[in-house]
């Protein structure tokens, strides 16, 4: 079996939603201290809906594919659903990632969460701190 699924390769070769939103309503940037990769997510939010999303990822192919898939999964969605996006859901949508690459999808989940938190902070909207755990929950962050 190939190491990477066709879906991963597709999103790696032709990533969706790459770029910057200059007037973003929320921006989230996270990094993995072990591998040194960085992911930045920009959200445009109207009402409670993510109307546009872009990403910049300085990282491995799995991180790029994860960002691409994750941005597709949250576009047009209400924030309540966006906050429920897990790295597991992103990995499943990619038809799997090798075990030592799961941490790359965690970066996508955390970057999106950080961007939503930034939006809430900018607008002084109250939120449940449990939705934004400090330092995330990246048990599989072993890098390479
Ligand atoms: Fe660092 Fe994939 S995000 S190796």
pLDDT of 8-47, one tens digit each?
999 999 999 999 999 999 999 999 999 999 999 999 999 9
Q: Is 110 in the pocket of ligand 1 (CB under 6 A)?
A: no
Question: 38: number of CA atoms within 13 Å, CB side?
Answer: 5
* 94 φ, ψ (degrees, to nearest 5): -85, 5
Q: Which atom of ligand 1 is nearest to the CA of 39?
A: 3
Q: Does residue 107 line the site of ligand 1, with CB under 6 A?
A: yes
The span from the CA of 5 to the CA of 12, in Å, is 11
Q: Is the CB of 39 under 6 A from ligand 1?
A: no
pLDDT higher than 90, residue 81: yes
pLDDT at 135: 59
pLDDT at residue 143 tops 50? no
Q: Which residues are designated catalytic?
A: 35, 104
Tokens of 74: 């949250």
């Amino acid at each position: 079996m190939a190491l990477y699924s066709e879906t991963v390769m597709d999103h790696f070769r032709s990533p969706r939603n790459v770029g910057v939103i200059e007037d973003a309503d929320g921006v989230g940037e996270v990094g993995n201290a072990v591998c040194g990769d960085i992911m930045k997510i920009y959200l445009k939010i109207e009402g409670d809906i993510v109307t546009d999303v872009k990403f910049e990822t300085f990282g491995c192919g799995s991180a790029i594919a994860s960002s691409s898939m994750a941005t597709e999964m949250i576009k047009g969605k209400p924030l309540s659903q966006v906050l429920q996006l897990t790295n597991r859901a992103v990995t499943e949508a990619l038809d799997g990632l090798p075990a030592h690459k799961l941490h790359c999808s965690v970066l996508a989940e955390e970057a999106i969460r950080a961007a939503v938190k930034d939006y809430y902070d900018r607008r002084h909207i109250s939120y449940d701190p449990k939705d934004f755990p400090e330092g995330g929950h990246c048990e599989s962050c072993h890098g390479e």
